C-alpha cells in the first residue's frame, strides 16, 4: 500500500509539472480553402478561417446589421464622397506591428493595387485614403458608394500586418499575419490549418479556446461520422438528409441560419477559348438549359425542403428580389424549341462541379433534367479550390459553384458580371449592365437602387452568364461539449464566447 501511495503521489506531482493540455476546437470543413490572403482569396471556407484569423474594419451581427470591429464608428458626408472611420485603440497584429491609421491606408491601397488582388472592383469607388489622425482614416470617393461599408465587412476590410505583407508580397498567404483572435501556426494542404489563441488580442477575455484546427472533408457523410466519433468538435454544412438524425442524437446539437447567397452554374461566355461553343456564344442555348431545370424539385429531392428555389442573386424573400421575374416553372418543350431556333438538336456540355456528395447529387439530377431537352452533359468532379482556379483561368465550359452572400446587394452581383469585376469568371461584359450596377452603388435611395438592380437583372436573365438555382440554409452540428456557438446568415463560425468542455 505504501508503494502504491508513493507512486500515486509521484504521478500527481508529475502531472502538476506538465503544461495543461490545450483546449482545442476541431472543425470539419466541406472544402480546403484557397490562398490565405484576403486580397487574393475567394473561397467560402477561407472566410470561415479568416473569421478567427483576420479582424475586419466592420462586422455583421445576427440580424445582418453592420457593427464595429476594428473601426469603432464611421460617418459619411452629405454628398456621399467622403467616409471617415475612427479606429480601435490598443490593437496589434500577430507579429507585434501596431494597428493604426497608416496600417489601414496600407491595406486598402494593397487591395486596390496588388496585381493579384480580387478586391479591386469592390474598392473601385475609392479615389484615395489617408490617415487624418493616428486612429482615423478618411476615404475620398470618386462617386457615392452605398456598398462600401458593407464591402469592408468582408475581405476588402480585413487587416493584415503591413510588415509581413511587405516582406512576403504575393506569397503572404503562405504565412498570414493578421490581428484576429487566433494566429497562424501551420497549414498542410488538403489536410489541416492550425491556429492558436493570440494572447494580445484586444478582446482576448471573450476567447476561451486555445487552439483551432480546421480539417477539410468534402464527403458530408464522413464529416458527420468524424463528429460522432469524437475526431471533430464541430462541422459546417450538414447535409439536409442528416438533419433529423443529428437532432435525434443526444450527444449532438444543431444550429442553422438561412444564407445570404446563392447556388449557381457559371457559363463561360467570354473567358478564353473555352467560350467558343454553342453554350458560350448563343444566349438561347443558355436559356434552354435554364428552362429545363425544375428548381423546386431540386430543393425537395436534394435539400429536403431546407433550401429555397431561386433564379436571381437575391432570394425570393429579399426586398431586392424582382417580383416581376419569379422563379420559372420547368418547360422542356420550350427549351427544345429554343435549341431548335438556335440551330441545334442536341448540345454536348462539360460541366465541372465540386467533389462533395450534395453537389454531386444536385448535378446528377440536373444532368437528367436537361437531357430531356437536348443537352448531353458530362460531369467532372474536382476539388473545390481547383474548380475556382479553373474558373478564373477560363478552363471550363460550365461550372457549378456557390456564393455565400453579402449584406449589401452589390456584393452578390457587381463583381461577378461587370466588365472589370474581380470575380467575373464568365468573361461577361455588357456596358448597359455596368451602367445600372454602378448607378445602384451611387445612391442610398432604396427605390433608385432597386430600379437599377431590376433593370440589370432583366438583361442578365436574357444573357445568362450565371444560371441561379436557389439559396441554401447553413446548418452546423457540434458535440455536446461545445457551448455558446450561434449561427449567422453569412455562414461564418465566430468563436467569441464559444467554449469546449471536451
**Distances from the Cα of 239 to the Cα of 243, 251, 356, 474, angstroms:** 7, 18, 10, 10
Q: Which H, E and C letters describe 15-33, residue by residue?
A: HHHCCCCCCEEEEEECCCC
Q: Residue 127 has what pLDDT?
A: 98
Residue bearing cell 492558436: 196
Q: Is the pLDDT of residue 5 over 90?
A: no
- What topology does CATH give the domain 182-259+474-500? D-Maltodextrin-Binding Protein; domain 2 (3.40.190)
Asked whether the beta carbons of 238 and 220 are under 8 A apart, the reply is: yes
Contacts of 166 (CB under 8 A, 6+ apart): none
Counted residue by residue, the chain has a size of: 502
- Mean per-residue pLDDT, 81-93: 98
> In this structure, are strands 192-197 and 182-188 parallel, antiparallel, or unpaired?
antiparallel
> Which tens digits make up the pLDDT trace of 334-343?
999 999 999 9
Asked whether the beta carbons of 428 and 415 are under 8 A apart, the reply is: no
> Which tens digits make up the pLDDT trace of 293-306?
999 999 999 999 99
Q: Residue 258 has what pLDDT?
A: 84
Q: Residue 22 has what pLDDT?
A: 64
- Mean per-residue pLDDT, 21-40: 92
What does the radius of gyration of the chain's CA atoms come to, in whole angstroms?
Answer: 24
Asked whether the beta carbons of 228 and 249 are under 8 A apart, the reply is: yes
Q: Residue 18 has what pLDDT?
A: 35
Q: Residue 226 has what pLDDT?
A: 98
Q: Is the pLDDT of residue 86 over 50?
A: yes
The residue among 21 and 87 whose pLDDT is bigger is 87
> Which tens digits make up the pLDDT trace of 253-269?
999 998 999 999 999 99
Q: Is the pLDDT of residue 38 over 60?
A: yes
| CA angle 294–270–155, rounded 5-degree value | 80
- Mean per-residue pLDDT, 159-169: 97
> Which tens digits make up the pLDDT trace of 363-391?
999 999 999 999 999 999 999 989 999 99
Q: Is the pLDDT of residue 20 over 60?
A: no
Sequence-distant contacts of 367-372: CB under 8 A, at least 24 apart: 369/292, 369/293, 369/294, 369/297, 369/330, 370/289, 370/292, 370/293, 370/335, 372/292, 372/332
Q: In sequence order, what E strands does 232-312 have?
A: 234-235, 252-258, 262-267, 308-309
Q: Residue 193 has what pLDDT?
A: 98
Reported pTM: 0.84
Asked whether the beta carbons of 378 and 350 are under 8 A apart, the reply is: yes
> Which tens digits make up the pLDDT trace of 416-449?
999 999 999 999 999 999 999 999 999 999 999 9
Q: Is the pLDDT of residue 68 over 50?
A: yes
Q: Residue 182 has what pLDDT?
A: 98
Q: How far apart are CA 177 and CA 106, in angstroms?
A: 14
Q: How far apart are CA 31 and CA 220, in angstroms?
A: 10
Q: How far apart are CA 488 and CA 143, in angstroms?
A: 32
Question: Which CATH class name applies to 55-164?
Answer: alpha beta
Residue bearing cell 448531353: 376
Average pLDDT of the chain is 94
Rounded to 10 degrees, the C-alpha dihedral 33/34/35/40 comes to -120
Q: State the cell numbers at 59.
A: 462586422
User: Domain locations in the chain?
Assistant: 55-164, 182-259+474-500, 262-471
> Which tens digits make up the pLDDT trace of 177-230?
999 999 999 999 999 999 999 999 999 999 999 999 999 999 999 999 999 999
Question: Which CATH class name applies to 262-471?
Answer: alpha beta
Amino acid at each position: 500500500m505504501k508503494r502504491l501511495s508513493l507512486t500515486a503521489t509521484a504521478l500527481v506531482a508529475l502531472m502538476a509539472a506538465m503544461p495543461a493540455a490545450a483546449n482545442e476546437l476541431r472543425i470539419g470543413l466541406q472544402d480546403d480553402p484557397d490562398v490565405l490572403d484576403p486580397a487574393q482569396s475567394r473561397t467560402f471556407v477561407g472566410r470561415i478561417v479568416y473569421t478567427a484569423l483576420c479582424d475586419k474594419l466592420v462586422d455583421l451581427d445576427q440580424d445582418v446589421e453592420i457593427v464595429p470591429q476594428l473601426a469603432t464608428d464611421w460617418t459619411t458626408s452629405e454628398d456621399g464622397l467622403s467616409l471617415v472611420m475612427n479606429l480601435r485603440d490598443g490593437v496589434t497584429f500577430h507579429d507585434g506591428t501596431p494597428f493604426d491609421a497608416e496600417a489601414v491606408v496600407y491595406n486598402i491601397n494593397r487591395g486596390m493595387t496588388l496585381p493579384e488582388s480580387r478586391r479591386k472592383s469592390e474598392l473601385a469607388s475609392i479615389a484615395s485614403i489617408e490617415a487624418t489622425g493616428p486612429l482615423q482614416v478618411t476615404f475620398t470617393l470618386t462617386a457615392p458608394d452605398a456598398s462600401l461599408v458593407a464591402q469592408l465587412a468582408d475581405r476588402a476590410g480585413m487587416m493584415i500586418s503591413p510588415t509581413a505583407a511587405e516582406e512576403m508580397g504575393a506569397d503572404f498567404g503562405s504565412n498570414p499575419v493578421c490581428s484576429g483572435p487566433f494566429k497562424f501556426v501551420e497549414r498542410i494542404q488538403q489536410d489541416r490549418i492550425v491556429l492558436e489563441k493570440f494572447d494580445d488580442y484586444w478582446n482576448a477575455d471573450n476567447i476561451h479556446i486555445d487552439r483551432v484546427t480546421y480539417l477539410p472533408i468534402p464527403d458530408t457523410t464522413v464529416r458527420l461520422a468524424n463528429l460522432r466519433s469524437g475526431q471533430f468538435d464541430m462541422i459546417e454544412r450538414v447535409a439536409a438528409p442528416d438533419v433529423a438524425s443529428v437532432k435525434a442524437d443526444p450527444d449532438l446539437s444543431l444550429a442553422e441560419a438561412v444564407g445570404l447567397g446563392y447556388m449557381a452554374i457559371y457559363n463561360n461566355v467570354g473567358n478564353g477559348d473555352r467560350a467558343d461553343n454553342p453554350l458560350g456564344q448563343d444566349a438561347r442555348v443558355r436559356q434552354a438549359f435554364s428552362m429545363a431545370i425544375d428548381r423546386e424539385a431540386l430543393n425537395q429531392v436534394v435539400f429536403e425542403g431546407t433550401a429555397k428555389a431561386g433564379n436571381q442573386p437575391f432570394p425570393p424573400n429579399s426586398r431586392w428580389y424582382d417580383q416581376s421575374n419569379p422563379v420559372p416553372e420547368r418547360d422542356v418543350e420550350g427549351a427544345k424549341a429554343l435549341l431548335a431556333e438556335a440551330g441545334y438538336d442536341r448540345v454536348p456540355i462539360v460541366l465541372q462541379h465540386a467533389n462533395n456528395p450534395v453537389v454531386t447529387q444536385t448535378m446528377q439530377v440536373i444532368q437528367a433534367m436537361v437531357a430531356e431537352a437536348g443537352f448531353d452533359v458530362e460531369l467532372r468532379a474536382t476539388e473545390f479550390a481547383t474548380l475556382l482556379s479553373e474558373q478564373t483561368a477560363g478552363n471550363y465550359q460550365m461550372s457549378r459553384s456557390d456564393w455565400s452572400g453579402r449584406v449589401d446587394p452589390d456584393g452578390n452581383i457587381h463583381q461577378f458580371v461587370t466588365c472589370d469585376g474581380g470575380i467575373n469568371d464568365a468573361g461577361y461584359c455588357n456596358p448597359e449592365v455596368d451602367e445600372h450596377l454602378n448607378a445602384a452603388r451611387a445612391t442610398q435611395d432604396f427605390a433608385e437602387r432597386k430600379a437599377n438592380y431590376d433593370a440589370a437583372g432583366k438583361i442578365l436573365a436574357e444573357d445568362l452568364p450565371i444560371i441561379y438555382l436557389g439559396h441554401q440554409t447553413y446548418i452546423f452540428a457540434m458535440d455536446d461539449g461545445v457551448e455558446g456557438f450561434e449561427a449567422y446568415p453569412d455562414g461564418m463560425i465566430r468563436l467569441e464566447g464559444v467554449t469546449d468542455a471536451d
